[in-house]
Amino acid sequence: MDRLDEMLLELKDTSELMIDLAYSSLLYNNKEIAEEVVLMEEMLDELANDIQRRAIVRAMDDRDEGKAFAIIKLAVAVEEISDAAMQIATVTIQEDEPHPVIRLSIKDADTTITRAEIKPGSDLVGKSLGKMRLASQSGMWVVAVKRERKYLYGPDKNVVLQVGDVVIARGPPEAEQYFQDICDGKERLEEP
Amino acid sequence: MIDIGREKRLDKYDLAHATVREILTEMKDISEIMVDLAYASIMFDSEEIAEEVKNLEEDMEELSKNIRIKAMLAARTHKEAAKLSSLLEVASASRRISNAAGDIVKIMEVDVAKRPFLGFILREAEEKIKRLSLAEGSDMVGRLIGELGVESETGMRIIAIKRGKRWIYDPEEDTKLKAGDVLIVRGTEDGYEVLRSYANGEERWPVYPEEEGD
């Protein structure tokens, strides 16, 4: 695995997380999450620039402009997605209260955002996200966890949930209730 | 008939009667499916999927124009206009995502041999795009996507179906699955493994107690 590939992978995964976080910030009128999206955008800007420079250097070394061209095209397109996320987050930052229709639209969409608090007795307590295979079992993909006052963005599968954590997740509206019930401890997860 | 994914999209008539809320929802949905389809087109080197992304990009232009007109007509006061203007920012961000998806598809123009890194990225991404086919013996056959609740059950979203020579993009809840369908799906690795075991007939689709009685 090559460094440039890893960088592109990070660019792609982060840009998608940013979109989810940007919509979450709008839905919950949460300026802290929106500010995080802005920070991520600055980081991705640099990452995308770095990718492009490295691609050019490599093309000069191995005299193969085709691959560099494809890498640059991809980096620019993905960076554009992160710009769009920032555009959404900026609405959250600038408005006291976003237009109510925006929230309704997010809730109506094929993919929506939900949040739930982890209650004592939930199967998720003390287990890592990966071990519980939450995404494949509940259909909801965790985009952020709020623990006390701090947010953890794009938690990886090693993150262990605790009672009181507030989990923000993305997924189909039909999966929302089940996800809420798992966090509440009303529904059990199958042991993997 | 609901087989063609595109039919669900707002057509010109619907668009004239659609609300700002409906159009914004549609723009969010389309922008997201476009990104998935764009990556899928590269992953499977499919000109047909790429073509669909281009079609959706055109639909987005139309939606984008309509939402602006409707928002302008809806504003009666300065305050309302200001609020609607930020709503249009969100719509414009969706369109930007759709343009980015259109740009991703253009990478198809680069020779396959020059883009080996793309396969790597799409295989290693947190959420992957994968392909599987429905076996004759799978109990998913003959059932509707919504009835199964494929995405809530497995976390895998079906972004397209190839049925014989035909494609169904962004299939609806009431799309019936058929033996031999090739499903293009997006989600985690373990979600894919679970879905594959149902699709090849190894495992039965789960039935929950409350559904059995009635």
Q: Is the confidence at residue B5, as pLDDT, over 60?
A: no
Q: Does A120 touch chain B (CB under 8 A)?
A: no
**pLDDT value for B7:** 47
Residues A95 and A116 in one domain: no
- Beta-strand (E) ranges in B35-187? 128-133, 157-163, 166-169, 182-187
Confidence of residue B180 (pLDDT cuts 50, 70, 90): very high
Residues A96 and A66 in one domain: yes
Residue A190 inside a domain? The answer is: no
Residues A117 and A94 in one domain: no
Q: Does B115 touch chain A (CB under 8 A)?
A: yes
Residues A127 and A173 in one domain: yes
Domain ranges of chain B: 5-114, 126-212
Residues A88 and A174 in one domain: no
Give the domain range for residue A82.
3-101
Q: What is the mean pLDDT of residues B99-126?
A: 86
- The pTM of this model reads 0.93
**pLDDT value for B4:** 41
Residues 167-206 of chain B with CB under 8 A from chain A are 187-188, 190-191, 194
How far does chain A reach from its first CA to its final CA, in angstroms?
A: 30
The rounded distance, in Å, linking the Cα atoms of A4 and A56 is 11
Domain at B5-114: CATH code: 1.20.58.220
Q: What is the mean pLDDT of residues A14-25?
A: 97
Residues A31 and A117 in one domain: no
Residues A162 and A128 in one domain: yes
Q: Is the confidence at residue A106, as pLDDT, over 50?
A: yes
Residue A63 inside a domain? The answer is: yes
Range in A11-25, A173-187, B104-118, B191-205 with the lowest mean pLDDT:
B104-118
List C-alpha distances in Å: B189 to A61, A78, B127, B156, B192.
36, 22, 7, 9, 5
Residues A47 and A79 in one domain: yes
CB atoms within 10 A of CB A16: 24
Residue A26 inside a domain? The answer is: yes
**pLDDT value for B1:** 32
Query: Which residues in chain A are contacts of B208 at CB distance < 8 A?
Result: none
User: What CATH number is associated with residue A150?
Assistant: 3.30.70.1450
Query: Which residues in chain A are contacts of B126 at CB distance < 8 A?
Result: 13, 16
Q: Are A37 and A85 in contact (CB under 8 A)?
A: yes
Domain count for chain A, please give it: 2
Residues A91 and A136 in one domain: no
Task: Determine the Cα angle at A91 with ends A85 and A92, to 5°.
Answer: 95
**pLDDT value for A192:** 57
Q: Does A128 touch chain B (CB under 8 A)?
A: no
Residues 8-67 of chain A with CB under 8 A from chain B are 8-9, 12-13, 16, 19, 22-23, 26, 64, 66-67
**pLDDT value for A191:** 65
Q: Is the confidence at residue B114, as pLDDT, over 70?
A: yes
Residues A76 and A120 in one domain: no
For A25-48, the pLDDT digits (tens) are 999 999 999 999 999 999 999 999
For B54-90, the pLDDT digits (tens) are 999 999 999 999 999 999 999 999 999 999 999 999 9
Task: Determine the Cα angle at A141 with ends B91 and B32, to 5°.
Answer: 30
Which domain-ending residue is among A101, A121, A139? Answer: A101
Residues A16 and A95 in one domain: yes
Residue A189 inside a domain? The answer is: no
Reported CATH class of domain B126-212: alpha beta
Residue A55 inside a domain? The answer is: yes
Residue with tokens 């809806």: B74
For A36-94, the pLDDT digits (tens) are 999 999 999 999 999 999 999 998 998 888 888 889 999 999 999 999 999 999 999 99
CA distance A135 to chain B (A): 6
Residues A121 and A168 in one domain: yes
**pLDDT value for B108:** 86
CB atoms within 10 A of CB A58: 17
